[in-house]
Structure 1
Amino acid sequence: MIIIETGDITHCPDDVIVNAANTSLLGGGGVDGAIHDAAGPKLLQYCQKMAETEGVRCPIGDARITPAFNLPSRHIIHTVGPRHGIDVDSHRLLASAYRNSLIVAKKQGIKNIAFPAISCGVYRYPHDEATEIALRTCAESDRQDLQIRFVLFSADVFEAWQNTARTLELGSCVVVKS
């Protein structure tokens, strides 16, 4: 099942929350900064110890898992979405960010996962395009034993995702909570 709702992802008690990270995994703005702030300094210390190649700890479209430290979730999956209009093949890369996050979750035996709107902040991905990619990718990967939630921070983002979700023909797998 896929659920779309408003809320603060840093308060989610899901097994894992997903961080819309940058390639360094060292924090940034938006949801990335909020997750790093809420998780506490041990998250940054943990990420600094992760293997890197030329400053990249997680390539665009890939995913890495860490403990959640001070967050109510057990883990954080960090994924890097593409910058709209800058990164080549951004649609494929955004789908990969969602798909690879779900693959990491499956390997860990995760039962529920909460996603933000990956790439929709400073990476400027249009919500209608991002929503369609996210929902279709997650619906294709949908497993009966995994609950997927999209936790959106603001009412306007929620409304955009809700509107796009209603136009897609994904059956009853999407539930919108206001």
Structure 2
Amino acid sequence: MEAKGYNLLAKHVIHTVGPQSEEPTILANCYRNSLQVLAGNQLLSIAFLCNAIGVHGYGNERAANMALDTVHCIFAGPTVKG
């Protein structure tokens, strides 16, 4: 979901909900779907928080690596469809 940034320095905020279990495919889809929203709205940059950390089973490093791996796979492959 994309929303206005209001008083943030960002003009837009893309919301995603991480998995409530230790399911790497679902977590990767959170990042993948956010990038599709980015492309679909013709936005040029994105910043990710570590999604699904703490009570959801992922540590900071593992969640960050999942984000990096997903972004790398998307940009190394065919273009993101908007």
Q: TM-score scaled to structure 1, two decimals? A: 0.39
Aligned residue identity for 2:70: T
Give the Cα separation in 2 of the matches to 1:69 and 1:96.
26
Q: Looking at secondary structure, tell me which structure has more helix per residue.
A: 2
Tell me what 1:83 maps to: 20
Match of 1:95 among 11, 24, 28: 28
Give 1 or 2 for the bigger CA radius of gyration.
Answer: 1
State the TM-score, normalizing by the size of structure 2. 0.80
Q: Percent identity?
A: 36
Matches within 5 A, 1:124-143: 124-142=57-75
Deviations 1:113-152 (A, max 9, x none): 1110011134231234323321110111228xxxxxxxxx
- Distance (whole Å) between structure 1 residues aligned to residue 29 and residue 11 of structure 2: 23
Give 5+ residue unaligned stretches, structure 1: 1-63, 144-178
Of Structure 1 and Structure 2, which has the larger fraction of its residues in strand? 1
Task: Give the Cα separation in 2 of the matches to 1:76 and 1:113.
Answer: 9
SS across alignment from 2:54: coil
Match of 1:176 in 2: none
The total of aligned residue pairs comes to 76
Where 2:35 maps in the other structure, the secondary structure is: helix
How big is the shift at 1:75?
Answer: 0.5
**3-state SS of paired residue (1:80):** coil
